[in-house]
Structure 1
Amino acid sequence: MLQFFDSSVPEAQPAVLPTGKAALGQYMTPAPIAAFMASLFPKNFTTFRLLDAGAGEGSLTHAFLNACCHAGSPSPHGEVSLIEYDAGMVQKLEKNLLQIVEGLSVTTHIHHTDFIEYASTLVAQKQRPFTHAILNPPYKKISSRSSHRALLRNAGIETVNLYTAFVALSLALLRPGGVLVAIIPRSFCNGLYYKPFRQYILRYAAIRRIHLFTSRTEAFKADKVLQENVILVLERESEQTPLDISMSKNGEMHEYREARYPFEDIVRPDDPERFIRIPDNQWEQGVLRGADRSLKSLDIEVSTGPVVDFRVKEYLRAMPQPEDAPLLYPGHFNGKTEWPKANFKKPNAVVRCPETMKWLYPNGHYVIVRRLSSKEEKRRVVAYHVRPEDFPGHPYLGFENHLNVFHRRKHGLSAELARGLALYLNSGFVDVLFRSFNGHTQVNATDLRSLPYPSSDTLEALGRWAAEQSELAQENVERHLKAVLA
């Protein structure tokens, strides 16, 4: 019988040098994570045909066979197809497999080839040979004009990164009821670019589990990868039922917790973006019945700031002249609005002229949200109320591209509505909701549109309440919001 990985033993060094790993998008799976991934497969099978896409040293195949043995089948019976592109890694894989399958009734096939080319050929031939797939795919963007992109489109897959391409193709090669376990970045859960991928997996599979590593630094610590990662378990052509959400800080399962959720809590039926939400133990605290409107129903829009500074360099000014428009960056908002800002690294103004007017908004009440924030920050969504009195004598404003702007047909909102909307966006309730689906540093307009909102009347009432307070301590704001929206 195979022996389990000893997580106390240092990982073997990969055959790929660090620069090669970056070029190929390869990061080796730590042994404890490989073992955990393998444990997530159903145990009710006697034979298998396993796909290990991007096999590396064979650690995932090793973990899969260990799990089979541990489940009570001392002699796993099946076939494994291991696909690996890197020649140096293939040499190590061949050597490792001699030990991995020694004494087992397991046939192995190593394919030294490009996985997208390999899998696309099988898809074109309508072959679906596998019952199981386990993978830690490479992370790298795919050029829109590359041969990979063309092969994927021919296979009915539209995606922008190698990791989602590997998952989609592996899923396409599974038989009905086949199970896929993959460790991948969380970035696919939201955003416009990954929407076709989300639609693809939700169309062809049921999600059985999502495991989140809550630390961005722990999962691939040896490779110094700063990335929120998840383990995704999919079952091909199966009925979607409630699914398990589990979390841990790292591969050793420190701070482990688990709960089961209705699928509708994870992918909302009325969400056209098909965002995949990962609730945590604060989820129930965040359910407020009074926040059930879409932004569109409030006749409010949110857009990325239209001024891209490097495209209007000749019109930028370090300090404003009377006829210029204030140009607002995230750095102008730090607890309060500070404009113009002395010794600011960015320009404070843009010349108001026919060439720039199409990017300027009339001065008024707006709400802005920074487009960049990390999970380590106290709040992911940081909103500010932009007030016209902060820019006296300036009839127009410029919002730079690193801001999201809430507006009404490129004009301002009422003072009460803007104040109430900013208050709501800065709440702990919104923070919990936002963190449930956003796993990267971007706060995009699409993400903000996906949030639920109170009615306009409620937001205006919040704005009036805020204006009457001598001090807006966060605990008082949270208490009032809960009373109003619960």
Structure 2
Amino acid sequence: MDRKQRSALGQFMTPSRVADFMAGLFSPIRDGNIRLLDAGAGIGSLSAAFLERWVRDRQGLGHADVTAYEIDPVLRARLAETLAHHAEIGSVMSEIMDADFIEDAVNRIQFQDVQRFTYAILNPPYKKINSRSRHRHLLRQVGIETVNLYSAFVALAIALMQTGGQIVAIIPRSFCNGPYYKPFREFLLARTAIRHMHLFDARDKAFQDDDVLQENIILLLERGGEQREVTVSTSTDDSFADYAAHAHPFSQIVLANDPERFIHVPTGAVHEASDLPDAFSHSLADLGVEVSTGPVVDFRARDALRDLPEPDCVPLLYPAHFSGQAIEWPRAGMKKPNALRLTPETKKALFPNGHYAVVRRFSSKEEKRRLVAAMVSPELFKTESLGFENHLNVFHKSRRGLPEDLARGLVAYLNSSMVDAYFRRFSGHTQVNATDLRRMRYPSSNTLRELGRWAMKRGAVSQESLDKKILALA
């Protein structure tokens, strides 16, 4: 199939081993007659995996009705072959819908007497929904407010399920945090119980044939179920060779006092995945510290970019200037510029020279760490101002530098293994947003400054020494 067309439709094909794993998450499918929903069915890999599981479980009883949606005619032809094959080996009736799932589902929901589904298995399309689009308007008619097709499909599937019905879906993990997906999280948590979450440790493995780098999660939800503990499992990739699973109380998945309803995904045993220590309970506002995305957007300031410093220029800092927990500037031979020419426009985006903690907004797929912080020290520069490029998050105080010990304490804290693991529990993005850093919890200002003074005395410290120090402060 043409990749551009698949991209336009948000299509990503489900590998067979992932489909088999997803079908295996359902409770034993022995109940008489089932009604299965597969929205965005593709060639029918998920329906096939489900039906094979059902044939094994059902002990010769009942029949299955499958409703599969697929708007792509090429895929729809293959889907018909898949479902026809299963009709031959079991009591399977299927209906293939070439209708727009969002439009048809909204109609079904509004028609209250429609028969509800007992199971749904989904690999929905992944594509943003414009706030003024027809899809957004239709979703609002049934109380769904969301920004992406994948969350819209899952929300509609929830709405179409009967009480006790089960949904298994593989979707990007981005819905777990951030303000844009809060209405979807509230919708999901109000109507379903989360039974199982599976996370792939390697971002590029679950959909490797499609070059997908988004971190993906598989969910098992029960419509109207009583929320109990949640099984959280992990594997590096779709071979599931290193599969591991642990049960966690729901209080570790969604924190009781969190108004944003972030969904945390602890990936170790319960004692390994607990929340940050109670001593680390302060917000950035408590510290008198702010964090902002770097205001210099380089492609909008092309005429002012300079490879190396010149007169009437200021340093321009990128993630490429990170050298461990420090900044190396200027850096010759790198692909990014080192300086920004002073103009009336660029001056508006500058910070005064000072001590800052900076965090990279993006991590590469090869890196194990999500949080990577570095210290900006004023003695490195001979200018009054600095430029921070948009791929950095900057910790500051009213757009001015921080006390040195506080800045160094923040850098050390953010680079600790404990904090990185905590951050990964609720952030599935490939980027670190300033909003996420604001939502995090921190030690007190005094504790951070003590940590900063400790780091200043020791210079370069190993990860092991840093982690031990953080634990001692807790």
TM-score, structure 1 as length reference:
0.89
Of 39, 42, 46, the residue aligned with 1:60 is 46
Is residue 140 of structure 1 aligned with residue 127 of structure 2? yes
Moved more, 308-317 or 361-370: 308-317
Alpha-carbon separation, structure 2, partners of 1:465 and 1:304 = 28
Matched to 1:177, the amino acid is G
1:151 aligns with 2:138: yes
From the superposition, tell whether residues 321 and 250 of structure 1 become closer, same or farther in structure 2 (CA, over 3 Å).
closer
Quick one: which amino acid aligns to residue 387 of structure 1?
Answer: S
Aligned equivalents of 1:109, 1:49: Cα separation in 2: 11
- Cα distance in 2 for partners of 1:462, 1:96 equals 61
State the match for 2:401 in structure 1: 412
Supply the distance in 1 between the matched residues of 2:336 and 2:82 (Cα, whole angstroms).
Answer: 55
How far apart, CA to CA, are the structure 1 residues paired with 2:451 and 2:388? 25
Percent of aligned pairs with the same amino acid? 53
Match of 2:101 in 1: 115
Residue 191 of structure 1 is matched in structure 2 by: 178
Matching residue within 417, 431, 438 for 1:428: 417
2: CA distance, partners of 1:32 / 1:272: 37
Q: Partner of 1:7 in structure 2? A: none
Residue of structure 2 in register with 1:41 after alignment: 26
TM value normalised by structure 2: 0.91
Partner SS for 1:35: helix
Tell me how far apart the structure 2 counterparts of residues 191 and 306 of structure 1 sit (CA, whole Å).
Answer: 20
Question: 1:286-297 maps to which residues of 2 (within 5 A)?
Answer: 287=274, 288-289=276-277, 290-297=279-286
**Worse-matched range after superposition: 463-472 or 218-227:** 218-227
Range that drifts further, 68-77 or 205-214: 68-77
In structure 2, which of residues 345, 355, 379 is the aligned counterpart of residue 355 of structure 1? 345
The answer to whether the Cα contact below 8 Å between 1:271 and 1:450 also exists between their aligned partners in 2 is no
Read off the aligned partner of 1:230 and give its amino acid letter.
Answer: I
The answer on whether the counterparts of 1:128 and 1:172 sit within 8 Å (CA) in structure 2 is no
**Preserved contact between residue 48 and residue 82 of structure 2 (Cα < 8 Å):** no
Match of 1:356, SS state, is: helix
- Are 2:371 and 1:381 aligned? yes
Partner in structure 2 of residue 3 of structure 1: none
Instruction: Name which of 442, 450, 453 aligns with 1:453.
Output: 442
Residue 321 of structure 1 and its aligned partner are, at CA, apart by 4.7
- The residue correspondences of 1:87-106 to structure 2 (distance < 5 A) are 87-102=73-88, 104-106=90-92
- Does 2:203 align with 1:216? yes
**Shift, 1:416, TM fit:** 0.8
Q: Distance in 2 between matches of 1:182 and 1:285?
A: 27
Match of 2:12 in 1: 27
Q: What amino acid maps onto 1:23 in structure 2?
A: A
Aligned partner of 2:163 in structure 1 is: 176
Distance apart, 1:286 and its partner CA = 5.9
Aligned to 1:5: none
1:75 to 2:73 alignment: no
Q: Would the alpha carbon gap of residues 69 and 449 (structure 1) be closer, same or farther in structure 2, given more than 3 Å must change?
A: same
1:461 CA displacement? 0.5
Deviation at 1:402? 0.7
Q: Are 2:352 and 2:385, in contact at CA under 8 Å, matched by a contact in 1?
A: yes
Q: Distance in 2 between matches of 1:333 and 1:72?
A: 58
Distance 1:252 1:286 in 2: 24
- Distance in structure 2 (CA, Å) of the matches to 1:223 and 1:401: 28
Q: For residue 423 of structure 1, report the CA deviation from its aligned partner.
A: 0.5
What do the CA deviations read for 1:409-462 (whole angstroms, capped 9, x no partner)? Answer: 212211111111101111111121122233332111122223221111110100
Q: Could you say if the C-alpha distance between residues 93 and 347 of structure 1 is closer, same or farther in structure 2, counting changes exceeding 3 Å? A: closer
Q: CA deviation at 1:169?
A: 1.2
Instruction: Sort the Cα spacing of 1:282 and 1:330 in 2 relative to 1 into closer, same or farther, 3 A.
Output: farther
| Deviation at residue 213 of structure 1 after TM alignment | 2.0
The CA distance in 2 between the partners of 1:204 and 1:344, in whole Å, is: 51
Structure 2: distance between partners of 1:60 and 1:378 = 31
Is 2:74 the partner of 1:85? Answer: no
Query: In structure 1, which of residues 395, 401, 409 is the aligned counterpart of residue 384 of structure 2?
Result: 395
Assess if the C-alpha contact under 8 Å between 2:200 and 2:234 holds in 1: yes
Number of matched residues? 469
Q: What's 1:367 paired with?
A: 357
Please report how far the alpha carbon of residue 246 of structure 1 lies from its aligned counterpart in structure 2 after TM superposition: 1.1
Deviation at 1:67, TM superposition (A): 2.0
Given that 2:146 and 2:152 are in contact with CA atoms closer than 8 Å, whether structure 1 keeps it comes out as: yes
Tell me the SS of whatever aligns to 1:476. Answer: helix
Indicate the larger mover: 222-231 or 359-368. Answer: 222-231
Amino acid paired to 2:458:
Q
Deviates more, 1:211-220 or 1:172-181: 211-220
Give the whole-Å Cα distance in 2 for the aligned partners of 1:470 and 1:20: 53
Question: Helix, strand or coil for the counterpart of 1:310?
Answer: helix
1:262 pairs with one of 233, 244, 249: 249
The amino acid across from 1:173 in the alignment is L
The alpha carbon displacement at 1:131 in A equals 1.8
Q: Deviation of residue 250 (structure 1)?
A: 3.2
Distance 1:283 1:337, change over 3 A: farther
Q: How big is each residue's C-alpha offset from its partner over 1:369-411, in whole Å with a ceiling of 9 and x where there is no partner?
A: 011103531422111111222223x222221111000112212
Cα pair distance change 1:128/1:196, threshold 3 Å: farther
1:251 aligns with 2:241: no
Moved more, 66-75 or 198-207: 66-75
- Aligned amino acid, residue 110 of structure 1: I
Q: Which amino acid aligns with 2:126?
A: Y
Q: Hey, what does 1:479 align to over in structure 2?
A: 468
Distance 1:260 1:146 in 2: 40
Which sits farther off after the overlay, 398-407 or 331-340? 331-340
Runs of 4+ in 1 over 6 A off after TM superposition: none
- In structure 1, what residue type is equivalent to 2:21? F
Q: What's the C-alpha RMSD, in Å, of the aligned pairs? A: 2.4
Residues 298, 67 of structure 1: CA spacing in aligned structure 2 closer, same or farther, 3 A cutoff? same
3-state DSSP class of the match of 2:88?
Answer: coil
